[in-house]
Amino acid sequence: MELFTRAMIFFLILFISYFFYLSKAIDCGGKDVSYTITVGSSGKVTFKTIQAAIDSVKNNNNQWVKIHIKAGSYIEKVHIPIEKPCIILEGEGSQNTIISFSDNKGTSSSATFVSSPPNVVMSDITFQNTYNVNNKTQKVSPAVAALIQGDKSFIFRCSFIGYQDTLFDAYGRHYYKDCYIQGEVDFIFGRAQSYYENCLLNATGRNLPGFVTAQGRDSPDSPSGFVFEGGSLVGNDKVNLGRAWRAYSRVIFHNTNFSSVVTPQGWNSFGRAGQESKITYAEVDCKGPGADTSKRVPWLKKLTPSQLEEFSLASFINKDNWLDNLPVISK
């Protein structure tokens, strides 16, 4: 038993050290791309599936590798494993490069796309789980379009389409810029520390009002939270801005345009009556017919200018300047 315990401790330390190495040490060698792999169904391509291209990248990769995905519809599940950091997935426009699958076997296993390592860039791609989208008569259940759980992930001009649990924003620091996110029930959820800039959120309601966010910050010391800077929330039915998936849930909307889809109360403590002081939900300088806070929940936070500064891009996710070391993404 003692030898077994020592062995288990050794492997646990080894695993933690390996994870720490992947998360913190790798900087991908600067901004240059070492080589490019092309994926497509025809023409001059390296692989015909995205997963095959990812699998070809060496383990413990420490130089940026670009996987260029030609326009087309790719019906496959795609996973970037933790041992393959420093990958760029580049599509040819989110309207043209679409990765989709239909699965509803739980929030983790149903995901069409999973990104696990640190230092990943995604641009100009649609990630879609069609389970609740194409068949509107079936029972709604969790069906994740994308699961992002690696630190230092940059997602640019991408679309995420689903209905329940569309984007599993799980762990790590993430920067979403100029993205489109569609759903109705907890369609942005998780424990990540994420900044959403100029994103379009589309609430596609069918029955009762759903929730844009279900943020899972679970302690007062956790850096976790979702910050929405600018952008818009639209839709075809009513939706709440969020509910507290965990006790210290934290979501900030700043300068966001709210259409009339937002419910008057806006937020839900998710059965945490009497504990609302632990929750940080705030709306600052928001606009539009849905931005009237006069009937919001009474525990909605009011942030001072200095508190709001803590949720700026530089302060919230970029204190170590990791965003400054990313390759330039073509416009």
Give every CB contact of residue 166 below 8 A, 6+ residues apart in sequence: 129, 144, 145, 146, 160, 181, 182, 183, 187, 188
Beta strands in 124-277 (DSSP E): 126-129, 146-148, 153-156, 159-161, 167-169, 173-177, 180-183, 185-190, 193-197, 200-203, 210-215, 225-229, 232-235, 239-244, 250-254, 257-258, 267-268
Pairing of strands 64-69, 87-90: parallel
> Any idea what DSSP says for residue 168?
E
Pairing of strands 239-244, 267-268: parallel
Q: Which residues pair with 194 in a beta bridge?
A: 174, 226
Residue type, position 252, single letter: I
- Residue 320 annotated as catalytic: no
Query: Exactly one of 151, 165, 169, 178 is catalytic; which is it?
Result: 165
Q: Which two tokens stand for residue 217?
A: 């910050």
Query: Exactly one of 124, 169, 178, 186 is catalytic; which is it?
Result: 186
CA distance 234 to 227: 18
The HSE-up count of residue 189 (CA atoms within 13 Å, CB side) is 25
Pairing of strands 250-254, 225-229: parallel
CA distance 3 to 43: 57
CA distances from 248 to 36, 53, 277, 297 (A): 42, 40, 9, 16
Cβ neighbours of 321 (radius 10 Å)? 8
Helix, strand, or coil (residue 145): coil
Q: Whose CA is closest to 169, among 126, 123, 227?
A: 227
- Residue 324 annotated as catalytic: no
CA torsion sign for 16, 17, 18, 20 is positive
Residues acting as catalytic residues? 165, 186
